[in-house]
Amino acid sequence: MFQEQLPALFEKWGKPELAEIAKNGSFPNRKVESWKYTPVQNIQISESEKSHLHLPFEGIILDSNTQAEGIQIGFETVDFPRKDIFDDFANESFQRVLTVTITRKFKSELPLIWVHQPTSVSTDCIKIIVQEGATANFVELYQGNQQLALTYSHILVEGKATFHHYQFQFNGFEAGMPQVLSKIYAQQHAQSTYQHTVITFDGSWVRNELNVTHLGEHLFTGMNGLYVADGTRLVDNHTNLEHAKPNGESSEFYKGIAMDRGQAVFNGRIHVFQDAQKTNAFQNNQNLLLSNEAQINAKPQLEIFADDVKCSHGATVGRLRQDEIFYLQSRGLSKETATQLLTNAFGAEVIEKIENQILRSYCLEAWNHKMGI
């Protein structure tokens, strides 16, 4: 089992301190509310060689050698909140964290790319500072298969800055897709925009934790997600938005599809602080359940302590509509094709919201390919 396998893997990798933690610490289990539907023991690790990565689109790869106008590379220490044993691994291994400062001089249209290529278990960490008034697209790409990428990002979006953060968790152009545990901690200052988009339709075990905290007023947080659990795959999205200041605006839109024996989890917490008056928070979570053996656990979690706010939320779990399927059949499409077409359309709604045209087309193409369309 994963937990027992881990110490040896860390030893082999030359990380005895992590092996020690893995041996002595305890892993999250069913009794921990936020891990209730996400069994850690289902992670399966096998080792692989690092293979050559073909980038599916042009971009600027972030690493210690990155050179681009308006980008500064450095190394800093970062502390992440300690909630589970993975955080202990992270804090233990992140002494010198790749720190990327995006200044206003950065004018490139190209996305910044952070690549995760675990060969067994990797601990990847990045700190990003988006300086006042700066703008950037940032994409996380994955390559692998039966490996695990533990990815931690600390993101600071300064005043009037705009940061679009994408996680493309799928087997785009046969690069493969490892298992992932991602933890993002983003903070935003006044009048900034942080737009996050996570698309997950490959990877046997994926859990994404997204935490966003408001440090200023008149800012916008966007959180969009598409998660698809087919086969025996598991996808878990835990989002947590701290509306800590007045006049903040947020929009969260997550769509999930579970089929075969897949398992999907969505937990969307929105916390509106008592003095975060005039907050405008929108949350919508729609799920499509396509088989009796599949499971969806969707939970909106609104904690609102301010009185002068506009907060709306909706969560649905449904099936495809029979009348839609019949309509398509009556034009000659088989039931399977009709189901594929409707499921594809359901998911495409999230992808259509991607502003960057190149990234949007890339995702749409991969999604159509996944759905056999």
Are 181 and 215 in contact by the 8 Å Cβ rule? The answer is no
DSSP letter, residue 111: P
Are 253 and 350 in contact by the 8 Å Cβ rule? The answer is yes
For residue 252, the minimal CB distance to other proteins (Å) is 20
For residue 196, the minimal CB distance to other proteins (Å) is 22
Q: Which is nearer to other proteins, 193 or 344 (CB)?
A: 344
For residue 225, the minimal CB distance to other proteins (Å) is 17
CA 242 vs. chain centroid, Å, equals 17
In angstroms, the CA 77 to CA 91 distance is 9
Which two three-digit tokens encode residue 282?
């929108």
For residue 279, the minimal CB distance to other proteins (Å) is 30
For residue 354, the minimal CB distance to other proteins (Å) is 15
In angstroms, the CA 252 to CA 231 distance is 27
Contacts with other proteins, residue ranges (CB under 8 A)? 322-324, 326-335, 337, 341-342, 344-346, 348-349
Q: Which is nearer to other proteins, 14 or 332 (CB)?
A: 332
Q: Which is nearer to other proteins, 188 or 287 (CB)?
A: 287
User: Which residues pair with residue 61 across a beta bridge?
Assistant: 113
Measured distance between the N- and C-terminal CA atoms of the chain, rounded to whole angstroms: 37
Task: Quote the radius of gyration of the chain (alpha carbons, Å).
Answer: 20
For residue 353, the minimal CB distance to other proteins (Å) is 12
Are 204 and 233 in contact by the 8 Å Cβ rule? The answer is yes
Q: Which is nearer to other proteins, 8 or 373 (CB)?
A: 373
Q: Which is nearer to other proteins, 304 or 328 (CB)?
A: 328
Q: Which is nearer to other proteins, 95 or 329 (CB)?
A: 329
For residue 345, the minimal CB distance to other proteins (Å) is 3
Which residue's entry shows tokens 């301190």? 17
For residue 373, the minimal CB distance to other proteins (Å) is 8
Q: Please count the CA atoms within 13 angstroms of the CA of 29 that sit on its side-chain side.
A: 5
In angstroms, the CA 126 to CA 155 distance is 8
Which two three-digit tokens encode residue 287?
């799920």
For residue 343, the minimal CB distance to other proteins (Å) is 10
Q: Which is nearer to other proteins, 77 or 334 (CB)?
A: 334
In angstroms, the CA 255 to CA 248 distance is 23
Sheet containing 220-229: order of strands: 60-61, 112-116, 135-142, 162-169, 193-200, 220-229, 249-258, 280-289, 310-318
Q: Which is nearer to other proteins, 67 or 330 (CB)?
A: 330
Nearby residues of 345 by Cβ (< 8 Å), 6 or more positions away:
none
Q: Which is nearer to other proteins, 113 or 289 (CB)?
A: 289
The beta strand positions in 79-134, using DSSP E, are 97-102, 112-116, 121-130
